[in-house]
Amino acid sequence: MKNLAGMLKQAQQMQSKMQEMQDGLLALEIEGQSGAGMVKVMLNGKGEMRGLKIDQSIVDPQETEVLEDLIVAAYNDAKVKVEAAVQDKMKDVTGGMNLPEGFKLPF
């Protein structure tokens, strides 16, 4: 029974760490950019967009498609960085335990 109690304690600690990590993800700010920094997107750790900055020198009503593409590229750049940061934080929570491919926490 000592092993069961120890496992339950570890599970509770891991759950507590997961909650702390999730709260921390909301405060995390990651910047993605495109067009040599002329378009910048800020995301939190949950992938929610928190800000968008566009250098006015690239705002041309005749070329909105270029601007749209730059915004998408900046968002995607930030999203990749967010996913890497989340994976890094998950290693702290799981103690480096290797999870199966496709297994995502939090559920």
**Residue-wise pLDDT tens for the chain (107 aa)?**
578 887 788 778 878 888 888 888 888 899 999 999 999 999 998 899 999 999 999 999 999 999 999 999 999 999 999 999 988 888 877 665 555 555 555 54
Question: What is the Cα–Cα distance from 27 to 3, expressed in whole angstroms?
Answer: 36
The alpha carbon torsion through 48, 51, 79, 29 (nearest 10 deg) reads -80
pLDDT computed for residue 107 by the predictor: 40
pLDDT computed for residue 75 by the predictor: 97
Model confidence, pTM: 0.72
Rg (CA), the chain: 19
Q: List domains and CATH numbers for the chain.
A: 2-94 (3.30.1310.10)
